[in-house]
Structure 1
Amino acid sequence: MRRPAFHLGSAFLAALFVLPILWSGWSSVRPGSGFSLDSYRRLATYGEGVGVYLTNTVLLVVLTVTGTVAVSTLAGYAFSRFAFPGRRILFGLILAILMVPYPTILIPLYVLLGKLGLQDSLVGLALVMIMFQLPFAVFMMRNSFAAVPRALDDAALIDGCGSFGVLMRVLLPAVAPGLVTVGLFAFLASWNDYVAPLILISSDERFPLPVAIVNMRLHDFGAVDYPTMQAGVMFMAAPCLALFLVLQRFYVRGFMSGALRG
């Protein structure tokens, strides 16, 4: 009786997540009485053009994912393999960032970026996104490295590898699921985030997709253009769904080998 109940419950939960996406897709192609792609045509020509907003989003994603993976990999390797004064305190301070709701410090960050000359910049926005991704990413990578036996390090050192060689040639392939998990979370955060770009970006030509799509709500005489908004939702959801399905196996392995280890 447990197996049918498990599958029935799983199917019900899956339907709860899938039905809104199907409804959005249906609404985007049937704005009136029949099938139409007019909402996607309006989406393509809205504002600066969907190509500009997509380019901004892709650039933001590339910078955020690359920076998050690079910094968290080096930090996780250091925390798991090297003993240095204040290691536990520093690790605790990094994790403490998780307790701070990031919208509460966006205004100070906006002022700081202005002093650094990175205000209204995708690079500055990417740095903010990286900062808020690092606590989880460092935690994940530290535990992923800790799950790899130190005997591999010793064998590589005996063969002549240095510390950086051990990381690049031996440990990175072993923690690949953790890298994929960190990269996937960074991708989802930078692809979908709305609040940070809304506050830190002021130029229309630098808006990422979430801000541009929300701005589509206002149509003639204050009416909401729901079909175009639903087209934008589908445009944003499709890459996330495809990437998650492709990387699902690595994503699950990353959590099993990293986050569930003490």
Structure 2
Amino acid sequence: MNRAAYYVTAAAFAVLFVFPLLWSGWSSIRPGDAFSLDSYRRLATYGEGLGVYVTNTVILVVLTVAGTLTVATLAGYAFARFPFPGRGVLFVLTLAILMVPYPTILIPLYVLLGWLGLQDSLVGLALVMIMFQLPFAVFMMRNAFESVPRTLDEAAMIDGAGSLRVLLRILLPAVVPGLVTVGLFAFLASWNDYVAPLILISSNDRFTLPVAVVNMRLHNFGAVDYPTMQAGVVFMALPCLLLFLILQRYYVRGFMSGALRG
């Protein structure tokens, strides 16, 4: 009886969460009384072209995920394995960034990127996205490293391995679920974020998919082109859904071994 109730509840929640995506897909292919792919054709030719927006978004995702994984891995390793003065305070300050609503600091960041010559660039936007991801990412990676027995480090060091070799050869394979979790969160944030690209990017040929999809909702004389907008929603949601399904096993293990520890 308990198992049946569990499956019924899980199925109900699955339908609840999947229904909006199914509705968007239906609206995109049947805007009227007949089936049509015109909304996807308009999506492909909108503005600078769908290929430009997809390329911009993929570049942003690659830079954000790579930067987040690199910095969070090194920082998490340092926090988990190396005692140094002020380690606890620095870790708390890193987590404190989560309490700051990021839209409130986008304007100062815009000015800062101007000083660095990175205004209106995907590299500058990626740096901002990496900064927003680091508190959660460092927290996850620190706990993931702490879940690995220190005896593995000690055995490798006895054999003559240095700290970097221990990290690359011993610890990284053991914290793959944590890496996947951090990478997945960084991917979802950079793929779907709308506010940061809207403020930090001003050139049409550098817009990301979320900005383009929101802009394309306005059609002739201010009328909302719902079918094309829904086609954009479906196009954006499918990669996220597929990636999550593929990496679900690692994602769950990452939370179980990382976020629930410490």
TM-score by length of 2: 0.99
The match for 2:125 is 125
Within 5 A, what are the aligned runs for 1:127-206?
127-206=127-206
How far apart are residue 7 of structure 1 and its match?
1.2
Identity %: 81
Q: Equivalent residue of 2:6, what SS?
A: helix
Q: After superposition, what is the alpha-carbon deviation per residue over 1:77-108, rounded to whole angstroms, capped at 9, x for unaligned?
A: 00000000110010011000000000000000
Within 5 A, what are the aligned runs for 1:209-220?
209-220=209-220
For the residues of structure 2 that align with 1:162 and 1:116, how far apart are their CA atoms? 36
AA aligned to 1:133 is: Q
The match for 1:30 is 30
For the residues of structure 2 that align with 1:68 and 1:16, how far apart are their CA atoms? 32
Q: Equivalent residue of 2:190, what SS?
A: helix
The match for 1:73 is 73
AA aligned to 1:187 is: F
The match for 1:232 is 232
How far apart are residue 218 of structure 1 and its match?
0.9
Q: CA RMSD in A?
A: 0.5
Q: After superposition, what is the alpha-carbon deviation per residue over 1:50-94, rounded to whole angstroms, capped at 9, x for unaligned?
A: 000000000000000000000000000000000001100100110
Q: Equivalent residue of 2:231, what SS?
A: helix
Q: Which moved more, 1:152-161 or 1:242-251?
A: 152-161
For the residues of structure 2 that align with 1:140 and 1:81, how far apart are their CA atoms? 14
How many correspondences in the alignment?
A: 262
How far apart are residue 8 of structure 1 and its match?
1.1
AA aligned to 1:145 is: F
The match for 1:48 is 48
AA aligned to 1:38 is: D
How far apart are residue 159 of structure 1 and its match?
1.2
Q: After superposition, what is the alpha-carbon deviation per residue over 1:217-249, rounded to whole angstroms, capped at 9, x for unaligned?
A: 110011000000010001000100000000000
The match for 2:57 is 57
Mark the runs of 5 or more structure 2 residues left unpaired by the alignment: none
For the residues of structure 2 that align with 1:10 and 1:146, how far apart are their CA atoms? 32
Q: Equivalent residue of 2:12, what SS?
A: helix
The match for 2:246 is 246
Divergent runs of 4+, >2 A: none
TM-score by length of 1: 0.99
AA aligned to 1:261 is: R
Mark the runs of 5 or more structure 1 residues left unpaired by the alignment: none
How far apart are residue 4 of structure 1 and its match?
1.4
How far apart are residue 25 of structure 1 and its match?
0.5
